[in-house]
Structure 1
Amino acid sequence: MRKLLLVSLLAASAVVSTSARADFSIPGYELVLTNPVETALPNPDLRNPATVWSELFDNAKKEIVIGQFYAVVKPGSPFERVFERLEAAGKRGVKIRFLLDKKGVNLSEAPTIERLKAIPNLELRILDYSQLTGNGIIHAKYLAVDGQVAYVGSQNFDWRSFTHIHETGLRISDPKVVAQIQAIFDQDWQAQAQLAQGKSVPPIAHAATSANYAPDAFLMASPYPYNPAGVADSERGLPAMLAEAQSEVRVQLLDYAPLSYGPKGTRPYYPVIDNAVRAAAQRGVKIKLMVSNWNTEKPAIDYLKSLAMLPNVEIRVVTLPQSSEGFIPFARVIHSKTMSIDGKLAWVGTSNWAGGYFDLSRNLEMVLRNPAMAQRVAALHEQLWTSPYAAPLDVNKQYPKPAKGKEE
């Protein structure tokens, strides 16, 4: 399998020499990657999101819709140039609708919010998603342009996500999926208006509805009660995908824990994903789970160690080196949310694998039954898995508290 993955990497690199446009794509889908600066992780066939987002904004003719958790722009960064392309779109008359989560406003920076509000033809709305589900957020990171092309991935509307964090996304031109992404945005945009008027927002879907997980390409989203027609349920879909696995599952995440988020910092038990992973391992499927060093906090680390004790499960922790600029809060970490199953199925999404993401918060996941994409995602996993930044999880080690928002 490793030989196949390395061959895939070499073949992907060869694309650069035979095509003027360096990208890795299949019909309707292009894989896009943020490689953190000052890391040895070359992927010359994968375009970066700064290039792709700028292209999307430059080509917009009528409307851009953006759904994000929070927003932070830093002058002088590559993302500043992306933001300028969004400003230019608004100035030439493109209608822009921007939806942020209320909790995410606290993570945003006031100058960025003011710059957004100052863009001509841009309407900014703040949605308190917790009013819909009790304890959820807009965690999805996505946009759509003119109802014809969309982007879904792990990149937040944050300069760090374009420079200092390992992120993965998809540029999507599949008309059916783009229409569904647009419908999700419109649903949440209207929900904000209803809540602002003091009205309730009734569910539009029911869990009893059967889902079709057979198509070659399909969108899943959460929370299911607020999914437009035709969009599958992520909480049911992930276990269904894992149940299909026959030989190997490769997963890359910021964090993994069979725990949710309760009041006053509590972490209620949430076994849905963990049960599916353990069931796959029990029937002989090799699980290669790669998480960030942020996942070594308690109590999550104890559950990771428990999982690592099982036959057929291997877990590695990725620690990226600090930038030469010095410590950067909430950066220098892997944040991609990807999965490859048996070299046949690829998953690229916005959810961490824990409670709260698949049941309470708005998230989007793209599933592609395409060997070329699945093997490219697997090769990306293998590159990081075998890099100097990844180390096997040590079940006997007492891991230090990771430095996230401040240097420890």
Structure 2
Amino acid sequence: MRSIPTPLRRLAGMAAALGLALSLCTPARAQFAIPGFELVHTVPRETTLATPDLRDAATVWKEMFDAAHTEIDFGQFYVAGQDGEALDDIIAHLEAAGRRGVKIRFLREKKGGFASDAATVDKLRRIPNLDYRELDYSSMTGNGIIHAKYFVVDGSSAYVGSQNFDWRSFSHIHETGLKITDAAIAAQVRQIFEIDWQAQALIAAGRPPVPTNRATVMADERRGNYLVASPNAFNPPGVGDSQGELVCLLGQARQEVRVQLLDYAPLSYGPNRTRPYYAVIDDAIRAAAARGVKIKLMVSNWNTEEPAIHYLQSLAVLPNVEIRIVTLPPASTGFIPFARVIHTKSMSIDGRVAWIGTSNWAGGYLDNSRNLEVVLHDENMARRVAELHEQTWSSPYAEPIDVLRRYPKPVKGKQ
């Protein structure tokens, strides 16, 4: 039997090693993007949902931290980690940025302490070049929070979406966001951060921050793709009011509106746990349905608690309105508090406009709290957001609301 020449044996060995290495690699996720914007999505583990054309948030966040040269600025509701989960690695990449000299500013809502993990906060505080602050946003608006989930890298790229700085958000919650490389919008996100960062310093010094707007500022829709935010009183120049823009877009709808949310309710949050009526969004939805627009509203099973469920049931009896409630299966490892839920906040209108943001559709969010929303007049993005909606809408996890049922109180936290 003829022996194989040594060079060929080496090539064969190299090929075998390469094949083994490739077999061990995780396939790279594709990217769905339009100029300036990449759609990012987290699929909850142990579900049949799949988005192979969308990169996950953990991958995108780490990539953005690794690319930082000078600064990273965060606005977050709360922080919560757990050993061995994806957030550990994300924080490691953030720490690496700090160690190479990147200046990091981290602003968290003070009321978010109820959901935050002290060990994770301590871990953040120990990162070199990181300045950590907390702000009680209600001291600015009377009744609001930093509910936004965003960060800006070098003032030139940003991330905005439903993703909290929470280990569960990267594995057990349905989340959607945008990586933004549109320079003008990224700069506006940074301006929003700067307003809130400086407000925290003023409040800490006993001085009230001065509102930047007295009158409502409407978005300039001629720009096509743009940022809107809330509260209007503390938005920078050129950034329109989220609440006004949402009503305007719903008023322009002609055929179909697809919405996915954690919560929907025409109710706000008042003193002593009261829920004052808040009709702004609900009136716009009902008006659209009345003129023949098909409304497909999808909410999480957390939205079945009282009194919100009764308003959903009353909305569902209207012609042209369909409402489905999504219940994700529990993890095989057992119950996880505040997880296994859809948390995406998105909308697609007539296959031509996409809305991706950080706000629930209820009172207190788009009027008094800090939230960011991105509006994209782009058919490709609007179609992909609608397809993302349809996947869950048609899944076994979604069921039409029963207008006569008395729903049990949903279990969110500890059982």
| TM bracket (short chain) | over 0.9
Q: 1:94 to 1:276 in 2, by over 3 A?
A: same
**1:199-247 CA deviation, whole Å, 9 max, x = no partner?**
0111101224454233210100000000000000011010000011000
TM-score, length-scaled by structure 2: 0.93
1:403 is displaced (CA, Å) by 0.6
SS in 2 for 1:161: helix
- Once residues 227 and 186 of structure 2 are traced to their aligned partners in structure 1, the CA distance between those partners, rounded to angstroms, is 9
What secondary structure, in the 3-state scheme, does the structure 1 residue paired with 2:286 have? helix
Give the counterpart of 2:410 among 402, 405, 408.
402
Match of 1:132 in 2: 140
Aligned residue for 2:160, secondary structure, equals strand
SS where residue 108 of structure 1 aligns?
coil
Mapped pair 1:350 → 2:355: no
State yes or no: 1:286 paired with 2:331. Answer: no
Q: For residue 112 of structure 1, what is the aligned residue in structure 2? A: 120
Decide which structure has the larger Cα Rg and report it.
2
Match of 2:77 in 1: 69
Q: 2:207 aligns with which of 191, 195, 199?
A: 199
Amino acid aligned to 1:279 = A
Q: Partners in 1 of 2:236 and 2:402 — Cα distance?
A: 43
Contact 2:29 2:54 in 1 (8 A): no
Seen in structure 2, the aligned counterparts of structure 1 residues 295 and 241 have a Cα distance that, compared at 3 Å, is same
SS of 1:384's partner is: helix
Which residues of 2 match residues 377-392 of structure 1 at below 5 A?
A: 377-392=385-400
Give the aligned partner of residue 9 of structure 1: none
- Following TM superposition, where does structure 1 have runs of at least 4 consecutive aligned residues deviating by more than 4 angstroms? none
Letter in 1 for 2:259: V
Residue 56 of structure 1 corresponds to which residue in structure 2?
64
Secondary structure (helix, strand or coil) at the match of 2:309 reads: helix
CA distance in 2, matches of 1:242, 1:60: 37
CA distance, structure 1, for counterparts of residue 122 and residue 332 of structure 2: 30
- CA deviation digits over 1:274-314, x for unaligned, max 9? 00000000000000000000000000000000000100000
CA RMSD of aligned residues (A): 1.0
What is the CA-CA distance between 1:83 and the residue it aligns to? Answer: 1.0
Q: CA deviation at 1:92?
A: 1.2
- Match in the other structure for 1:28: 36
Could you list the per-position Cα deviations for residues 305-328 of structure 1 after superposition, in whole angstroms to 9, with x for gaps in the alignment? Answer: 000010000000000000011000
* AA matched with 1:237: E
For residue 78 of structure 1, report the CA deviation from its aligned partner. Answer: 1.4
Corresponding residue of 1:330: 338
Secondary structure of the residue that 1:37 maps to in structure 2?
A: coil
* 2:78–2:116 CA contact under 8 A, matched in 1: yes
162, 170, 179: which is aligned to 1:171? 179
User: Which residue matches 1:305?
Assistant: 313
Match of 1:79 in 2: 87
Tell me the equivalent position of 1:262. Answer: 270
Letter in 2 for 1:35: V
When residues 213 and 24 of structure 1 are mapped into structure 2, their CA distance, relative to the original with a 3 A threshold, is same
* Structure 1 match to 2:247: 239
Q: Which amino acid aligns with 1:61?
A: H
Q: Secondary structure at the match of 1:143?
A: strand
Question: What SS does the corresponding residue of 2:265 show, helix, strand or coil?
Answer: coil
**Cα distance in structure 1, aligned partners of 2:414 and 2:250:** 36
Q: Return the TM-score normalized by structure 1.
A: 0.94
Indicate if the aligned counterparts of 1:223 and 1:361 stay in contact, CA closer than 8 A. yes
Report how many aligned residue pairs link the two structures. Answer: 389
Cα distance in 2 between the residues matched to 1:209 and 1:331:
36
Rounded to whole Å, the distance in 1 between the matches of 2:218 and 2:340 is: 41
Tell me the SS of whatever aligns to 1:214.
helix
Alpha-carbon separation, structure 2, partners of 1:384 and 1:158? 22
Secondary structure of the structure 2 residue equivalent to 1:403? coil
Q: 1:300 to 1:21 in 2, by over 3 A?
A: closer
Deviates more, 1:103-112 or 1:116-125: 103-112
Instruction: Read off the aligned partner of 2:131 and give its amino acid letter.
Output: E
State whether residues 31 and 46 of structure 1, in contact with CA within 8 Å, keep that contact through their aligned partners in structure 2: yes
Whether 1:317 and 2:363 are equivalent positions in the alignment is no
Which secondary structure does the structure 1 equivalent of 2:184 belong to?
helix
Q: Which of these residues, 224, 227, 230, is aligned with residue 216 of structure 1?
A: 224
Distance 1:60 1:390, change over 3 A: same
Distance 1:160 1:226, change over 3 A: same
Give the percent of matched residue pairs that are identical in Structure 1 and Structure 2: 64
How far apart, CA to CA, are the structure 2 residues paired with 1:217 and 1:21?
25
Measured in 2, the distance between the counterparts of 1:37 and 1:54 equals 20
* 1:34-53 equivalent positions in 2, closer than 5 A: 34-53=42-61
AA of the residue aligned to 2:52: P
| Kept after mapping to 2: 8 A contact 1:213/1:237 | no
One-letter identity of the residue aligned with 1:98? F
Question: Within 2, Cα distance between the matches of 1:168 and 1:208?
Answer: 28
